[in-house]
């Protein structure tokens, strides 16, 4: 469902560059990345999954809600 | 060396010993007028047109592996000009015209086959959306025909008109759409560029981009440093990594798209057919294999391979649409790295660094764009101004919201295009 | 011919079969190939390009030549390998790719033209004249291409897909795999043992090797007996594991034994915590001139046909190899009393004794014969050339471990010099451990040990300890080989037998600078046939290495990809057949609608009625126009259950709504309903709907049918990720409530008596909501209108839906109205300028839709910032308008473009397009909604609508999108 940067929604007045970065620009690493997954056919939970985009190895997963609370704390 | 039937005859009669290399293997020079990073379809066509249209022959293509080893070597070979949004419409139209003269231009048989392409639709709403697309194509000067159910049945009698989950209401037919032999396109452009003096350097990975005072001065490679005042980044799914060498972040996410081919069969599918209610499109190659694919696996990936859920979905779509392919056996599956943008449309533009140009964001539609992408990127690199056919492909359009080309209507989520 | 005393076949039973119309007999246990050989049938096919005669090469699924078409009619199966086709009584097989017959194939003339048809020839010609490519050259190429033909009819067979989970997946039931399964099974692990063949044993089935002093096949059968007695082990014969995927997932194709009412195969998705790859090894040919003649076979296959099937592949044999293993063929043949004319071993140091001539240091340089082998030409070490009469040449260039699955995730195999073969790269697939011949261990003892060890290692990672059991007794001969890829000399040495690629082609590719192994493969097509290079890859890359002055490891291999064996599309796509492809979602009024003869139409996965025909109506417009009139003049009833309904509760429910909608919901009073517009974060419209406030902290949101899932996902995202601190809960209740619209001037009349409430405008003003009782059932009532008439929507628990619908329709009919379907619903809303996803197509903004007034300036909401991007508020944008025809042509179409009346219909001149069109019986003319540059400022202007596809154009007037009842008084009445 997209890169985990989507967790960090900029302030509405943060300006063009911040919003362009939030919605469009991506590091797009060939390696470890954090992305968002949604358990759509199940409990509806959003997850932040730490994954390697080259090997597909999953290194970790946490509830997006937990990650979001931490980020906003 | 000029290719022709006569040449084949002469060589055949003398033991085939006279065939010369399709391209040289030169060592990289210390400096070029322009360097193109990426020896895939777009990189090679850019080099060709820089040489042919702009007389720039002191240029090099740097390819980290073997020429044409990326997406150009692993796609489903579809060539079409059926985009409907301004910006895309004129570009693909230009590309198709180039395709139509390509064999002659390159003196290489790329096996461009304008067998016709049909986009099926399965509801009135979908029909109207395809009507808009078809009318846009005709406004552009290209060709489109709206077929009703019976029209589709006459052309594609093997579709399931009775049992399918989603009934076939009709199709948008693009007679000039079709296929081409993907490897031949890359090799034809490579040979054409090389014969005009372009250096094609394989096994040469760019490891850094040199920038001084806001302008590009050259690149660092696994085969040594190379100076150049103009550098084009044409690396598709690897755009993020290469752009990072110039300190840039791009609006691109790399995703995997799978594709499949069956064993060779006698001719049974004479068109390119795409399903409107599931991710599936198919054609039959001149070697007899059914070549087909579906949608992205949806997770960011550089692995060039995907997983079974999408494999099965694609097969299921094929079976519900045309159950006669059931006994065709899948011979091979593979994947590529798709450079996905927030609106699903590409970028051919200058960057913030002077002399550094970007051609990327082709998502999974890059093959048909090979000629026009090269043509327009060459124009941009040579003149520092965008070609009018690619004027819409601005890097900044996401930031300012002008000229977005969201053909799917799904918005700023890279993997939804 | 058939040999007595050999073979695992049931000679007591005879099976009749035909090949190209000729009748033969075989036995249970035979494959089609073994039965053909037993009947001395040598010629079984023609090669792809040159149509050279082809005979059976191998005894396995890697077979490149013996591809046949089985069955007739819709059951026809092209490209079946005779080598793995189980013989059954009545089997009818036909050879492929030849005309008019296998013996006399006209296209064999291609072979005469071979100097002109070498690698890549088609790229160098067929370009002129241009029109000929599509008219002549390509059709000819396509007809010559391909091997078998599909029947063209829908596949009539049943296929299945299934899932399985286990601790350990053992791939291959030869000695290594059986030992691995025994080790793991005895340790109590949950094991799946899969083998491509129909019985266990792997290579043991083809050899005379002994285990524990008895025949290898007996040991294998006993092992499986033990395994099948264990409750934690499943043995899956006839099951080829086709691919290794992420996270321990494996795909496998199980072919089922024939039987009435049975599926023909099942595609498995197996999740294994660990796996052992005991897939064995495949023998590779040697390249020499005319090595493709029918009768030239793999040495291991020749003795396999003898030992497993009792079939002698000829009468006079020559064995040619570069390794000790090939000697076994000579010994087995001689033991069975067959005539071995000579053993040719390219190694000077080779030693072998038996009732045959042995020529060490010699090489085969050619073969003679027409459509079958008659003689083998050899060159002795001293240069002397000799011709030996033989009808079967058993060749062996060594063995290639079947590493494929270990390389499916992108790794490349590793060259091991001492066995002159590629072996699996360590750790390439997490959890997958190679064993036995697949790991480059070739002796029987070695395989047994390797299998046991691999299982122990795999289980250790899972925390399961497996015991070290003593291994059965078996031979442990070393594997001795000296590489020989190509015998140099005149004539064409064949590498890829199906695609007709020779050593010369590979060298020519190198000459033309296709030096990378990938380039060579694509240019020559070596390795691209149905065997995917199993018979040719290593030799071809060795020859390429030589031609380009590199070593084999430097040259490398091409990429290994699933599937390991070809899999029918119908097997992987078993779930998709017919209506099984996607769920069918039905409303509670579905049955009643069908009873009334309503044609049903897909709305996403839902089915909804298009119209409800009445007697005498022959055209849909009659029904639709009537239904529109019902609603405008009397009362209509329609099922609106498919719209998404989300129940939202909690102290922060209003805050959530204020954040996801552009307009404000915290100011909405309980008992009231408000239209809401929802944007994506990029500022474009995602969806719209009405949200009702049923209580202080209780809202019910509606979405469009199309976007219900997307909105749910969005709410999940907002509440979990963007605003995790909100105290709110919500759930989808779309299927819980059956909801019906009752619309028209007589709506109140219809509902009074049914509901326990006063329905006056004072009690239930426009845009009000609340709980009511209907015949004692707790229901919800909303006074909202998508038709523009006085309207209510009544929601009841879904189980009452059917009966309520019937009741409402009956009452409507008694009031001069009735049920209405999607067509009428669409006309009504177009007359009122209400929007659907035809207008909310993902590229329109609130500004485009004339709804900028709904964008609150006082709060942040999703999409607010990005909606303010200059490109999204440019007045030049195409914005919502209505259109009515004023020219001579009175109809309008959707998807047409709008131009200035005098402008040419080109892309540059296009100023807009239509999205929704309907004939309005209310107004007596066609109406359209669409988008036009600067639209709202151009009301009253004329534009030309051009629809190239339908061949029409007409002049239109730009009007306000609300064409009927502009100020909305009718809904408020």
Chain segment C44-93, per-residue pLDDT in tens: 999 999 999 999 999 999 999 999 999 999 999 999 999 999 999 999 99
Count of domains observed in chain A? 1
Angle at B48 between CA B43 and CA B50, to 5 degrees: 95
Residue C918 host element (H or E)? strand C912-920
Q: Give the DSSP H or E segment for B206.
A: strand B206-212
Please compute the mean of the pLDDT values over residues B104-128 and round it to a whole number: 96
User: What does the block give as tokens for C806?
Assistant: 């019937």
Task: Note the pLDDT tens digit of each residue in B173-211.
Answer: 999 999 999 999 999 999 999 999 999 999 999 999 999
Which phi and psi angles does C260 have, rounded to 5°? -65, 145
Question: Could you tell me which chain B residue has the CA closest to the CA of A28?
Answer: B253
* Chain C residues touching residue B289 (CB < 8 angstroms): 146
Determine the residue of chain A that is closest to C430 in CA distance: A57
pLDDT at C721: 97
Chain C residues 650-689 within an 8 A CB cutoff of chain B: 680-684, 686
CA gap C28, C676 in Å, rounded: 72
DSSP state of B251: S
By C-alpha distance, the chain B residue nearest A23 is B412
Of the residues C732, C749, C782, which one is the last residue of a structural domain? C732
Query: Token digits for C655?
Result: 């805050």
Locate the chain A residue with the closest alpha carbon to C857: A12
Q: Tokens 């360590």, residue? A: C426
**Does the CA dihedral C353-C357-C358-C364 come out positive or negative?**
negative
- pLDDT class for C130, splitting at 50, 70, 90? confident
Q: Which of C419, C444, C461 is the last residue of a domain?
A: C461
Res. C366 pLDDT band, cuts 50 70 90: very high
Q: What is the pTM of this model?
A: 0.97
Q: Which tens digits make up the pLDDT trace of B61-72?
A: 999 999 999 999
Q: Is C208 on the interface with B (CB under 8 A)?
A: no
Mean pLDDT of B379-386: 98
Residue C757 — very low, low, confident or very high, per pLDDT cuts 50/70/90?
confident
C257: contact with A, CB 8 A cutoff: no
**Of the candidates C805, C673, C819, C817, the residue with the CA atom closest to the CA atom of residue C749:** C817
Residues of B in contact with C580 (CB under 8 A): 165, 320
Query: Are both C178 and C136 inside the same structural domain?
Result: no
Question: Which CATH number belongs to the domain containing residue A65 in this structure?
Answer: 3.30.2270.10
- Hey, are the CB atoms on A46 and C247 less than 8 Å from each other? no
User: What is the chain A residue with the closest CA to B253?
Assistant: A28
* Mean pLDDT value across residues C498-512: 96
Provide the pLDDT for residue C103.
92
- The number of CA neighbours under 13 Å toward the Cβ of C585 is 13
Chains that touch C (3 or more CB pairs under 8 A): A, B
Q: Among the three residues C732, C749, C776, which one is the final residue of a domain in this structure? A: C732
Q: Is C129 on the interface with B (CB under 8 A)?
A: no
Q: Are residues C652 and C638 in the same domain?
A: no
Tokens of C702: 């509606």
Q: Are residue C51 and residue C129 in the same domain, yes or no? A: yes
Count of C-beta atoms within a 10 Å radius of residue C778? 11
Of C420, C213, C219, C215, nearest in space to C324 by CA: C420
**Partner-chain residue, chosen from B244, B300, B412, that has the shortest CB–CB distance to A33:** B300
Q: Which residues make Cβ contacts (< 8 Å) with residue A73, sequence separation at least 6?
A: none
C518 to chain B: which residues are within 8 Å by CB? 66, 69, 73
pLDDT of residue A1 exceeding 90, the answer is: no
Q: What SS3 class is residue B400?
A: helix
B164: tokens are: 């399918």
Angstrom CA distances, B360 to B168, B365, B384, C607, stand at 35, 11, 17, 41
> Which helix (H) or strand (E) element contains residue B339?
strand B329-340
Interval C508-558: pLDDT, tens: 999 999 999 999 999 999 999 999 999 999 999 999 999 999 999 999 999
Question: What residues in A contact C869, CB-CB < 8 Å?
Answer: 16
Which residues are bridge partners to B212 per DSSP? Answer: B215
Mean pLDDT computed over B139-153: 98
From the candidates C865, C867, C868, C871, which should be mutated to test the interface with A, based on the most A CB atoms within 10 A? C865
Chain B positions contacting chain A at CB under 8 Å are 238-241, 244, 249-254, 299-303, 342, 398-400, 412-415
What is chain B's mean pLDDT, rounded?
97
Tell me, yes or no, if A9 comes closer than 8 A to chain C by beta carbon. Answer: yes
- Phi, psi angles (nearest 5°) of residue C268: -100, 145
Per-residue pLDDT tens digits for C323-333: 999 999 999 99
pLDDT of C259 above 90: no
Task: Kindly report the nearest CA distance between residue A26 and chain B, in angstroms.
Answer: 6
Give the H/E segment covering residue C247: none
Q: Is C865 on the interface with B (CB under 8 A)?
A: no
* Residue C762 belongs to some domain of the structure: yes
CA angle C711, C876, C917 (to 5 degrees): 60
Q: Do C870 and B401 touch (CB under 8 A)?
A: yes
CB pairs under 8 A between B and C: 376
Q: What single DSSP character describes residue C361?
A: T
Q: Which residues of B touch C127 (CB under 8 A)?
A: 3-4, 103-104, 107-109
- Give the model's pLDDT for residue B278: 80
Would you call B414 an interface residue with chain C, using a CB distance cutoff of 8 Å?
Answer: no
- Surface of B (98-157) touching C: CB under 8 A: 103-104, 107-115, 122-125, 127-136, 138-141, 144-146
CA-based nearest distance B113→chain C, Å: 6
What distance in Å separates residue C665's CA from the closest CA in chain B? 25
Q: What is the domain range of residue C536?
A: 493-559
> Does pLDDT of C973 surpass 90?
no
The answer for residues whose C-beta is within 8 angstroms of residue C11's C-beta and 6 or more apart is C27, C310
Which pLDDT value is given to residue C127? Answer: 87
pLDDT band, very low/low/confident/very high, at B171 (cuts 50, 70, 90): very high
CA distance A25 to chain C (A): 13
- Touching B: which chains, 3+ CB pairs < 8 A? A, C
Q: Which residues of chain B neighbour A53 with C-beta distances below 8 Å?
A: 254, 300-303
Asked, for residue C844, whether it belongs to a domain, the answer is no
Fold type of domain B114-177+254-340: D-Amino Acid Oxidase; Chain A, domain 2 (3.30.9)
Identify all chain A residues contacting C409, using CB atoms and an 8 Å cutoff: 55-56
Please check whether residue C752 lies inside any domain of the structure: yes
Nearest chain C residue (CA) to A24: C682
pLDDT at C786: 94
Q: Determine, yes or no, domain membership for C564.
A: no
The answer to whether residue C862 is domain-embedded is no
**Alpha helices, H only, C462-528:** 503-511, 517-524
Query: Angle formed by the axes of helices B370-383 and B182-195, to 10°?
Result: 30
Distance (Å, whole) CA B151 – CA C728: 53
In three-state secondary structure terms, C206 is: helix
Of C681, C722, C864, the CB nearest to A23: C681
Strand, helix or coil for residue A36: strand
Q: How far is CA C557 from the centre of its chain?
A: 26
What pLDDT sits at residue B389? 98
Pairing of strands C421-423, C432-434: unpaired
**What are C123's two structure tokens?**
């790229």
Q: Give the separation between CA B278 and CA B256, rounded to whole angstroms.
A: 18
Residue C864, in any domain of the structure? no
Closest by Cβ to B253, choosing from A26, A51, A54: A26
CB pairs under 8 A between A and B: 64
CA nearest to B307 within chain A = A56
Chain C hits for B144, Cβ within 8 Å = 948-949
Phi-psi region of C20 (alpha: psi -120 to 50; beta: other; left: phi over 0): left
User: How far apart (Å, rounded) are the C-alpha atoms in residues C27 and B81?
Assistant: 58
Question: Confidence class of residue B29 from pLDDT cuts 50, 70 and 90?
Answer: very high
Q: With contacts defined as CB-CB under 8 Å, which chain A residues touch B342? A: 23-24
Residue C509 and residue C548: Cα distance in Å, rounded? 10
For C656, phi and psi rounded to 5 degrees?
A: -60, -50
Average pLDDT of chain C to the nearest whole number? 96
* Banded pLDDT at C753 (limits 50, 70, 90): confident
**Same domain? C629 vs C751:** yes
Q: Which CATH class is domain B5-77+183-251+343-416?
A: alpha beta
Shortest CA gap A21–chain B (Å) = 8
pLDDT confidence band for B289 (50 / 70 / 90): very high
Which residues of chain C are within 8 Å of residue B148 when distances are taken between CB atoms? none
Q: How many domains does chain C have?
A: 7
State whether residue C516 sits within 8 Å of chain B by CB.
yes
Q: Are C855 and C867 in contact (CB under 8 A)?
A: yes
- Which of C721, C729, C868, C871 has the most A C-beta neighbours within 10 Å, making it the best mutation to test the interface with A? C721
Q: Which of B373, B391, B381 is nearest to B354 (CA)?
A: B381
User: Lowest mean pLDDT: which of B12-16, B92-96, C854-858?
Assistant: B12-16
Tell me how close the Cα of B342 comes to any Cα of chain A, in angstroms.
6
- Rounded to whole angstroms, the Cα distance separating C952 from B131 reads 13
Query: What pLDDT score does B176 carry?
Result: 98
Shortest distance between the Cα of A10 and any Cα of chain B, in A, equals: 15
Instruction: Say if residue C260's pLDDT is above 90.
Output: no
Which residues in chain B have Cβ-Cβ distances shorter than 8 Å to A51?
299-300
pLDDT in the model for residue C578:
82
Q: Residue C651 is part of a domain; what is its CATH number?
A: 3.30.70.1400
pLDDT, residue B26, reads: 97
* Tens digit of each residue's pLDDT (9 = 90 or more) over C604-658: 899 999 999 999 999 999 999 999 999 999 999 999 999 999 999 999 999 999 9
C377 three-class SS: strand
Contact with chain C for residue B82, Cβ under 8 A? no
Are both C52 and C197 inside the same structural domain?
no
For residue A65, give how far its alpha carbon lies from the nearest alpha carbon of chain C (Å). Answer: 5
Nearest alpha-carbon partner for B194 in C119, C510, C506, C512: C512
Give chain B's largest Cα–Cα span. Answer: 67
- Please compute the mean of the pLDDT values over residues C147-175 and round it to a whole number: 96
Q: Residue C826 pLDDT more than 90?
A: yes
CA atoms of C456 and C443, how far apart (whole Å): 20
Nearest CA in chain B to A20: B399
Rounded CA-CA distance C879/A14 in Å is: 29
- Decide if pLDDT at A73 tops 90: no
Which chain B residues touch A30 with a CB distance below 8 Å? 238, 240-241, 254, 302
Percent of chain C with pLDDT over 90: 95
Greatest alpha-carbon span in chain A = 39
Where in chain B are the domains? 5-77+183-251+343-416, 114-177+254-340
What confidence score (pLDDT) does residue C701 get? 98
Q: Domain span at residue A63?
A: 4-72
Element (H, E) at B237: none
pLDDT > 70 in chain C, percent = 100
Per the CB < 8 Å rule, is A27 touching B240?
yes
pLDDT in tens, A13-63: 999 999 999 999 999 999 999 999 999 999 999 999 999 999 999 999 999
């Amino acid at each position: 469902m997209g890169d985990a940067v989507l967790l960090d929604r900029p302030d509405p007045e943060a300006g063009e560059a911040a919003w362009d970065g939030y919605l469009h620009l991506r590091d797009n690493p060939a390696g470890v990345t954090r992305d968002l997954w949604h358990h759509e056919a199940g409990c509806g939970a959003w997850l932040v999954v730490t994954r390697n985009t080259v090997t597909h190895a999953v290194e970790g997963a946490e509830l997006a809600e937990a990650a979001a609370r931490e980020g906003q704390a | 060396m000029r290719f022709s039937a006569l040449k084949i005859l002469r060589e055949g009669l003398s033991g085939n010993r006279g065939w010369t290399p399709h391209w040289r293997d030169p060592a990289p020079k210390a400096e070029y007028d322009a360097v193109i990073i990426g020896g895939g379809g777009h990189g090679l066509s850019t080099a060709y047109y820089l040489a042919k249209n702009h007389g720039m022959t002191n240029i090099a293509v740097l390819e980290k592996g073997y020429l044409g080893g990326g997406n150009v070597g692993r796609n489903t070979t579809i060539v079409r000009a059926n985009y409907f949004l301004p910006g895309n419409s004129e570009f693909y139209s230009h590309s198709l015209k180039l395709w139509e003269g390509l064999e002659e231009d390159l003196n290489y048989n790329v096996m461009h086959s304008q067998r016709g392409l049909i986009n099926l639709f399965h509801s009135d709403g979908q029909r109207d959306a395809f009507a808009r697309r078809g009318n846009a194509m005709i406004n552009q000067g290209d060709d489109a025909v709206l077929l009703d159910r019976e029209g589709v049945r006459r052309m594609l009698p093997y579709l399931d008109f009775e049992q399918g989950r989603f009934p076939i209401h009709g199709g948008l037919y693009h007679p000039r759409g079709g296929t081409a032999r993907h490897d031949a396109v890359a090799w034809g452009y490579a040979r054409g560029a090389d014969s005009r003096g372009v250096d094609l350097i394989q096994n040469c990975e760019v490891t850094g981009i040199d920038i001084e005072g806001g302008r590009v001065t050259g690149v660092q490679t696994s085969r040594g440093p190379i100076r150049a005042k103009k550098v084009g980044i044409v690396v598709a799914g690897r755009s993020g990594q290469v752009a990072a060498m110039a300190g840039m972040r791009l609006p691109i996410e790399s995703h995997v798209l799978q594709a499949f081919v069956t064993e060779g069969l006698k001719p049974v599918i004479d068109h390119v057919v795409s399903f409107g209610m599931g991710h599936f499109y198919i054609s039959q190659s001149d070697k007899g294999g059914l070549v087909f694919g579906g949608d992205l696996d949806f997770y960011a990936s550089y692995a060039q391979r995907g997983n079974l859920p999408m494999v099965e979905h694609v097969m299921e779509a094929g079976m519900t649409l045309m159950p006669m392919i059931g006994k065709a056996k899948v011979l091979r599956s593979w994947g590529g790295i798709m450079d996905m943008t927030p609106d699903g449309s590409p970028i051919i533009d200058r960057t913030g660094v002077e002399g550094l140009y970007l051609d990327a964001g082709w998502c999974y539609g890059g093959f048909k764009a090979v000629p026009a992408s090269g043509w327009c990127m060459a124009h941009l690199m040579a003149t520092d101004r965008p070609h009018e056919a690619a004027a819409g492909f601005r890097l900044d359009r996401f930031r300012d919201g002008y000229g977005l080309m969201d053909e799917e209507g799904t918005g700023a989520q890279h993997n939804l295009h | 011919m058939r040999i007595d005393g050999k073979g695992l076949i049931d000679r007591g039973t005879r099976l009749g079969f035909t090949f190209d119309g000729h009748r033969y007999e075989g036995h249970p246990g035979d494959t089609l190939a073994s039965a053909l050989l037993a009947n001395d049938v040598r010629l079984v096919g023609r090669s792809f390009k040159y149509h050279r005669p082809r005979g059976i090469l191998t005894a396995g699924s890697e077979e490149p030549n013996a591809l046949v078409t089985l069955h007739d009619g819709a059951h026809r199966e092209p490209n079946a390998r005779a080598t793995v086709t189980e013989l059954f009584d009545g089997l009818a097989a036909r050879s492929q790719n030849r005309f008019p017959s296998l013996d006399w194939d006209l296209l064999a003339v291609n072979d005469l033209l071979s100097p002109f048809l070498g690698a890549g020839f088609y790229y160098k010609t067929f370009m002129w004249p241009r029109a000929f490519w599509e008219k002549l050259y390509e059709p000819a190429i396509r007809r010559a291409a391909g091997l078998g033909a599909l029947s063209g009819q829908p596949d009539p067979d049943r296929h299945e897909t299934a899932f399985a989970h286990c601790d350990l997946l053992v791939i291959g039931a030869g000695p290594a795999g059986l030992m691995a399964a025994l080790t793991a099974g005895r340790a109590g692990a949950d094991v799946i043992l899969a083998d491509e063949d129909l019985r266990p044993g792997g290579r043991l089935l083809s050899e005379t090797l002994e285990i524990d002093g008895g025949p290898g096949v007996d040991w294998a059968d006993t092992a499986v007996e033990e395994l099948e007695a264990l409750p934690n082990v499943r043995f899956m014969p006839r099951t080829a594991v086709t691919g290794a995927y992420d996270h321990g997932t494996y795909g496998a194709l199980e072919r089922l034994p024939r039987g009435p009412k049975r599926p023909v195969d099942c595609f498995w998705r197996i999740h294994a915590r660990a796996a052992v790859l005991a897939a064995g090894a495949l023998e590779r040919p040697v390249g020499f001139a005319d090595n493709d003649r029918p009768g030239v076979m793999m040495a291991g296959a020749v003795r396999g046909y003898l030992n497993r099937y009792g079939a002698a592949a000829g009468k006079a044999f020559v064995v040619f190899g570069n390794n000790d293993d090939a000697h076994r063929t000579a010994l087995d043949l001689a033991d069975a009393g067959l005539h071995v004319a000579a053993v040719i071993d390219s190694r000077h140091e080779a030693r072998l004794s038996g009732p045959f001539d042995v020529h060490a240091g010699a090489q085969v340089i050619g073969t003679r014969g027409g459509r079958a082998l008659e003689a083998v030409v050899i060159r002795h070490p001293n240069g002397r050339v000799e011709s030996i009469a033989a009808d079967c040449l058993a060749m062996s260039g060594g063995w290639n471990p079947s590493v494929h699955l270990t390389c499916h995730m992108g790794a490349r195999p590793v060259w091991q010099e001492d066995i002159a073969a590629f072996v699996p790269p360590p750790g390439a697939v997490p959890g997958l451990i190679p064993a036995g011949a697949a790991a480059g261990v070739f002796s029987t003892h070695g395989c047994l040990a390797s299998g046991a060890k691999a299982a122990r290692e795999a289980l250790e990672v899972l925390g399961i300890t497996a015991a070290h059991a003593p291994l059965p007794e078996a031979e442990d001969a070393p594997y001795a080989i000296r590489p020989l890829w190509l015998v140099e000399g005149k004539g064409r040495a064949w590498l890829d037998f199906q695609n007709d690629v020779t050593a010369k082609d590979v060298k020519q590719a190198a000459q033309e600078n296709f030096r990378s192994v990938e380039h060579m493969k694509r240019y020559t097509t070596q390795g691209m046939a149905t065997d995917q290079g199993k018979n040719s890859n290593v030799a071809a890359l060795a020859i390429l290495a030589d031609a380009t002055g590199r070593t084999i490891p430097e040259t490398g291999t091409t990429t290994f990809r699933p599937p390991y064996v070809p899999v029918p599309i119908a097997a992987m796509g078993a779930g998709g057949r017919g209506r099984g492809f996607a769920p069918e979602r039905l409303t509670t009024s579905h049955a009643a609608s069908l009873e009334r003869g309503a044609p049903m139409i897909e709305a996403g996965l839902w089915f909804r009625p298009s119209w409800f025909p009445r007697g005498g109506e022959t055209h849909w417009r009659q029904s639709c126009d009537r239904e529109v009139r019902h609603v405008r003049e009397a009362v209509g009833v329609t099922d609106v259950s498919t719209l998404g309904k989300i129940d939202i509760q909690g102290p922060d429910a209003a805050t959530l709504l204020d954040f996801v909608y552009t307009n404000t919901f915290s100011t909405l009073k309980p008992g009231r309903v408000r239209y809401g517009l929802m944007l994506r974060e990029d500022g474009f419209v995602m969806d719209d709907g009405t949200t009702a406030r049923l209580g202080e902290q209780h809202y019910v949101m509606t979405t469009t049918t199309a976007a219900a899932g997307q909105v749910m996902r969005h709410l999940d995202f907002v509440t979990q990720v963007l605003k995790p601190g909100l105290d709110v809960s919500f759930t989808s209740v779309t299927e819980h409530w059956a909801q019906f619209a009752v619309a028209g001037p007589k709506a109140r009349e219809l509902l009074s008596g049914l509901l326990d409430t006063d329905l006056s405008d004072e009690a239930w003003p426009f845009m009000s909501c609340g709980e009511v009782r209907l015949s004692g059932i707790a229901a919800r009532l909303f006074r909202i209108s998508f038709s523009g008439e006085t309207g209510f929507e009544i929601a009841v628990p879904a189980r009452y839906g059917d009966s309520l619908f019937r009741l409402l329709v009956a009452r409507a009919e008694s009031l001069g109205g009735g049920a209405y379907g999607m067509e009428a619903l669409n006309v009504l809303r177009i007359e009122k300028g209400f929007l659907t996803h035809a207008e909310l197509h993902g590229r329109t903004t609130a500004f485009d839709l004339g709804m900028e007034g709904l964008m609150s300036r006082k709060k942040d909401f999703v999409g607010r910032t990005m909606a303010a991007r200059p490109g999204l508020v440019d007045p030049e944008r195409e914005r919502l308008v209505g259109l009515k025809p004023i020219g001579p042509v009175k109809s309008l179409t959707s998807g047409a473009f709008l131009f200035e009346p005098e402008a040419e219909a080109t892309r540059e001149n296009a100023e807009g397009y239509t999205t929704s069109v309907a004939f309005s019986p209310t107004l007596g003319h066609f109406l359209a909604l669409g988008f036009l540059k600067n639209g709202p400022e151009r009301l009253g202007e004329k534009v030309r609508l051009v629809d190239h596809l339908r061949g029409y154009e007409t002049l239109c007037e730009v009007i306000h999108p609300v064409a009927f009842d502009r100020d909305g008084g009718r809904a408020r009445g």
